[in-house]
Amino acid sequence: MDLFNKIVKNLSKNSDAEMMITKDIKKDKRKKKKDIERKDGVILETDQIKYINYKDIRSRKYFEIKENILEWSSRDFVFYAKNLYYKKYNKDCGLQVPMACKTINELKSEIENIFISCNNILIKDYIDFFFDNYLENIINNGKDFYFSQLKDYKIITVFYNNYGEVKKKNKISDKITDTLDNKIMESLYFLDKESFVYKYGIILSINWLIFKRNLTIKEAKKSVNKICKIAYYKKLFNIIEKSTEQFSPYPDWLKVKKVGSKVNVNIEFNSLEETENKYSFLRR
């Protein structure tokens, strides 16, 4: 009986030893595996427990988006905007992707209401326009960036009125080459007087009111200056300044040719045939 117990005891010891050897072999195999590096730069080590700091994930520089813009979803637009923000301020804007995706879907509806139709190229151009012309003012005023700010109806309207130029360089171009159309100007004026001044600037807006709406010089100046003051308060006056420059040169025969000493624009007046033809509609 004692001999039998000794045999059983020895077998148990051998079994435990084999189990320990097996565990060591498995552990060695795990150690031989290469460390895994994720696409966002976080390294996962396989031979030990690795805790990933949440900040390491949130602070990653770029988010992957599809190469073909026609295949972009709301998520791609969100990541595109987040990438633009990082390039501009060297940090992630840190917004929640699901809520931002919902905002992008709402933005599509807002753009469609104004443009009648909407596509991915149009949405991307609008995001570029917003970042080029409005984001810096928001940050400089001590505010944070939120995707909901993209849905500002006034900004979308300004984008709509300047989209011919935005499409050329993803921002307002230096010169306007489109033929001025009085019917289009009149339609915009009755739709939104503020957008009218944003699009056509100070000189053209005042003179159009004089020549086509029969306002006096004093009345026309007062009407446009009121909108300029509002734009200045909203930090949007640079849009009006750009528009004023874009329509230069102007014809010599305009009733009003001064914009004020505090307005930062570079404009000229001449009597060249090209300029005369461009603005001849005002005197018809």
Query: What count of residues does the chain have?
Result: 284
Given a cut of 70, whether residue 225 has pLDDT beyond it is yes
The three-class DSSP label of residue 270 is strand
Domain boundaries, the chain: 2-32, 69-169, 182-283
- Tokens representing 25 are 């072999």
CB 125 within 8 A of CB 172: no
Cβ-Cβ contacts under 8 Å for 107 (sequence gap 6 or more): 123, 126, 150, 151
Q: Write down the pLDDT at residue 243.
A: 85
Average pLDDT, the chain: 76
pLDDT band at 56; cut points 50, 70, 90? very low
Of the listed ranges 3-12, 180-189, 192-201, the least confidently predicted one is: 3-12
Cβ-Cβ contacts under 8 Å for 231 (sequence gap 6 or more): 194, 197, 198, 237, 239, 240
Q: Write down the pLDDT at residue 111.
A: 83
Predicted model pTM:
0.45
Q: 107-135 pLDDT, tens per residue? A: 888 887 777 667 788 888 899 998 888 88
Residue 233 CA, distance from chain mean position: 22
As a whole number of angstroms, the distance between CA 182 and CA 137 comes to: 33
Q: How many CB atoms lie within 10 A of CB 65?
A: 18
- Tokens representing 88 are 């501009």
Given a cut of 60, whether residue 75 has pLDDT beyond it is yes
Q: Write down the pLDDT at residue 38.
A: 44
Q: 227-277 pLDDT, tens per residue? A: 999 888 877 788 888 889 889 999 999 999 988 878 888 899 999 999 999
What phi, psi does 43 have (nearest 5°)?
-95, 125
Higher per-residue confidence, 280 vs 188: 280
Q: Write down the pLDDT at residue 116.
A: 65
The three-class DSSP label of residue 77 is helix
